[in-house]
Amino acid sequence: MEGSAPTVAGLRAWKKARTRLAISDVATRLFVERGFEAVTVADIAAAAEVSVKTIFNYFSSKEELFFDRADEVIAAIAEAVIDRPPGTTVLGALHAVLADRRVPFDPEGWRSLRDPDGYERFRAFIAAEHAAPALRARRLMIAEAWTERLAAVVAHELGLAADDPRARTLATMVLAVMGMRERALSAAMLERAPARQVERRVRAVVDEAFGRLTAAFADVDRVR
């Protein structure tokens, strides 16, 4: 019996993760098909065959349902800094993950965008966000929370005090670049630009910004 406890706990965690993903997938489909503002939590519950209470056990709001992978984005950003190879600066690691990947947590890079079905799914998701002012406002709130988390990681990795303004300044500017990147990516996708052109346009924004950030923080952001 003692040996079965971890197995039971692991099974419960797996079931919770599966339920959360199933609810999220249904919600995303409805948001894309009908528009974010036209879909209620009750609609999602009915389509997912769960109760409204169950949805709120996993998500605090409809906006959180839409941005359900926000934690994965900032986790990938933090991991890029923490796990950077020797000889790489913090900004160098961030530059790479934001230039080489469609989204920071996707190790496939830009490959999925070259699949027509993958392109259309991503474009539809972006279009749904841009059609809902509440989601654009939520993105700004998420970015503010990300700034705090990234500043803490930067301070630790560069050996700075937790409240050192240099760490927060660097993190704030990186989040501003991420905002620029998101706007360039969204604009290209909504225009239905070819996949490789979308990538080139995003890379151009990221390369320009990080070139300047690297020069600005050269006295702080030293290699390991």
For residue 9, what is the domain's CATH number?
Answer: 1.10.10.60
pLDDT-derived band at 1 (thresholds 50, 70, 90) equals: very low
Same-domain check for residues 52 and 135: no
Residues 6+ apart with CB under 8 A from 95: 206, 207, 210, 214
Question: Looking at the structure, do residues 74 and 145 belong to the same domain, yes or no?
Answer: yes
Q: Rounded to the nearest 5 degrees, what angle is found at the Cα of 186, between the Cα atoms of 112 and 73?
A: 65
Mean pLDDT (whole number) for 99-107: 96
Please report, as a single letter, which amino acid is at residue 62. Answer: K
Residues 86, 197, single domain; the answer is yes
Give the model's pLDDT for residue 78: 97
pLDDT of residue 108: 93
Any domain includes 94: yes
Q: Tell me: do 31 and 83 sit in the same domain.
A: no
- What is the C-alpha to C-alpha distance for residues 67 and 90, in angstroms, rounded to an integer? 26
pLDDT 10s digits, 155-208: 999 999 999 999 999 999 999 999 999 999 999 999 999 999 999 999 999 999
Residue 141: strand, helix, or coil: helix
Q: Is there a domain that residue 137 lies in?
A: yes
pLDDT at 6 over 60: no
**Domain contains 221:** no
Q: Do residue 48 and residue 117 come from a single domain?
A: no
- Is the separation of the CB atoms in 210 and 194 below 8 Å? no
Asked if the model's pLDDT at residue 7 lies above 90, the reply is: no
Q: What is the pLDDT of residue 223?
A: 83
Does 99 share its domain with 131?
yes
Residue 96, domain member (yes or no): yes
What percent of the chain is predicted at pLDDT more than 90?
91
Examine the domain organization and report whether 119 and 190 are in the same domain. Answer: yes
One domain, residues 121 and 16: no
pLDDT in the model for residue 8: 67
Q: Considering the entire predicted model, what is its pTM? A: 0.90
What are the tens digits of pLDDT across the range 136-154? Answer: 999 999 999 999 999 999 9
47 with 102, same domain? Answer: no
Where among 26, 42, 61 does a domain terminate? 61
Question: Do 10 and 85 belong together in one domain?
Answer: no
State the Cα angle at 213 between 194 and 67, rounded to 5°: 55
Residue 53 in domain: yes
**In the predicted model, is pLDDT for residue 94 greater than 60?**
yes
- Cβ neighbours around 138 below 10 Å, total: 19
- Residue 217: pLDDT over 70: yes
What confidence score (pLDDT) does residue 2 get? 46
Give the count of domains, the chain: 2
**Cβ–Cβ under 8 Å, residues 162 and 152:** yes
- Residue 179's domain spans which residues? 70-216
